[in-house]
A and B are shown apart, each in its own frame.
Chain A
Amino acid sequence: MIEHPPPPFVIPDIITYAVPGFVVLILIEMAYVRLTNRGRYQFVDSAASLAMGFGNQVAKLLVGGVAVAAYFWVAQFALFDLGWTWPVLVACFFAEDLAYYWMHRISHERRWFWASHVVHHSSQHYNLTTALRQTWTGVLGLSFIFWLPLVLIGFPPEMVFMFSAISLVYQFWIHTEAVDRLGPLEWMMNTPSHHRVHHAINPRYLDANYAGVLIIWDRLFATFVPETKDEKIRYGIISQLGTFNPFRVAFHEWAGIWRDITHAKSPREMLGYLFGPPGWSPDGSRKTSASLKAAWRAAQPGSL
């Protein structure tokens, strides 16, 4: 059993400290959109997004301890005690970002995790308030398990929390249509351009650009798609929500899963509805990202 030494410095509540910056940037973006018409806002949509962010804070207070307890429990069985040194900090930054990539990718590819993550994609707008449209069920949906291997390797839990918080804060500013491409930064970093692609529902853009801070993971695992100016981006989800009610937004996919598994005709169907790709159905009659992409590719000139 390993007992990690405490952090050598007090780790501030990074997200809480970032909130005033979030507010200022949102107000600046609103003014910019009003003046330039570049980007879109709608106050009911923003109210829904901000209510989801508020609910996410409440959910973390109520059940976030479960994730924290899991990290510290797993830390007892860590393979190494990596400690708090500069090389370990650098390695943890990359490892956390890689864990985020896989959490995010699987959150799009498996319905169980999508049921939480869909909330973040459910706005038809893409602006800084969309960044705060966060799930209420992330902890209950076990999204935190993707970071546990880092703790098992030996990164101190507090260090993993710290980089997770830094990643979340970083990802706030990329939710905007107000910033165009950023030159050489586009090679390494996740940028507004890359993340617009991620939020798009145009078939060519589906299931792409899962990066947190560094876009290198998408380039490495062949999920990178660049933004093109040829096609106007449509945001949201394939079956756009017909509500701004935060409770419906938070739980609609879970309710859909429940409806499907209670009508399943076999354990195989039940597992498919739970852990298959979003849109999976036994007879293939529903749309998945893969089927939409395949149909789009088939419709392209020159395709066989």
Chain B
Amino acid sequence: MRDVANFLSRFVSPDDWIVLGASAAVIVLMVAVAAALGFRGAEKLDEARLATLAAAEGALIEGALVSAHGDAGLARLAGGRLLAARVMADGVSARAARPSRLRVKGKRVSIAFDDVGFPPLRFKFKQDAPSWLIEMARG
């Protein structure tokens, strides 16, 4: 631990620590104010929203599955492709997904992506798994 402190002291002066500490405190304050003012996401996904996202990619959806909380979804696109989407605050982010990375277990689904900016998507859904989803998960 002392070695780490010695190493850091080469780069960070006592004044710098004060500035960093104050910055961290102010960040906590601002985020707390934003939360207290009720700035929370209100976006929900549904089949129509997934269809809009697919249309932006020039595709039609053949099947859709939305999470129990409406914050994530999957859609099978024409041509056997797969679209994944998640709610981001009050926006939505979507990616084309490879069916080979899709896993379905009961009423849970998970899918991974190559893109570091889009972490694996895991969610629960209410209804029974649709046949297209099981078919895609089997490859």
Contact = CB atoms under 8 A, between A and B. Distances in A.
Interface of A: 16, 19, 23, 26-27, 30-31, 33-34, 40-47, 50-51, 53-54, 57-58, 61-62, 65, 122, 124-125, 129, 236, 239-245, 248-249, 251-253, 255-256, 259
A44 B41 contact: yes
Nearest to B16: A61
Contact of B117 (A43, A50, A124, A249): A249
Interface stretch (B17-25, B73-81, B102-110, B127-135): B17-25
Contact of A30 (B23, B26, B37, B117): B37
- Where chain A touches its partner, the secondary structure class is helix
Nearest to B12: A61
Contact of A243 (B24, B37, B92, B117): B117
Greatest chain A CB density within 10 A among B115, B116, B121 is at B116
B89 interface: yes
Interface of B: 11-12, 16, 19-20, 23-24, 26-27, 29-31, 33-35, 37-41, 86, 88-95, 113-119, 121
Contacts of A248: 116-117, 119
Nearest to B13: A61
B19 A44 contact: no
A241 B16 contact: no
B34 A256 contact: no
A253 B39 CA distance: 28
B39 A259 contact: no
A43 B34 contact: yes
17 contacts: A27-B30, A27-B33, A30-B33, A31-B37, A43-B35, A44-B89, A46-B30, A54-B27, A57-B20, A129-B30, A239-B95, A239-B117, A240-B91, A240-B93, A242-B95, A245-B119, A252-B117
A241 B20 CA distance: 27
Nearest to A128: B30
Contacts of B91: 124-125, 236, 240
A57 to B, nearest CB: 6
Contact of A124 (B24, B88, B113): B88
Contact of B40 (A42, A53, A62, A124): A42
B93 A242 contact: yes
Given A43-B35, A54-B20, A239-B93, 5 more contacts: A23-B26, A23-B29, A40-B90, A57-B20, A242-B115
A58 B34 contact: no
Contacts of A26: 30
Contacts of B41: 42, 44
A19 B24 CA distance: 12
Given A30-B34, A242-B118, A248-B117, A46 B39 contact: yes
B27 A243 contact: no
Given A239-B95, A242-B95, A23 B30 contact: yes
Contacts of B33: 27, 30
A23 B33 CA distance: 11
A53 B20 CA distance: 11
- Sorted from nearest, which 3 A-B pairs have the closest CB atoms? A252-B117, A42-B89, A124-B91
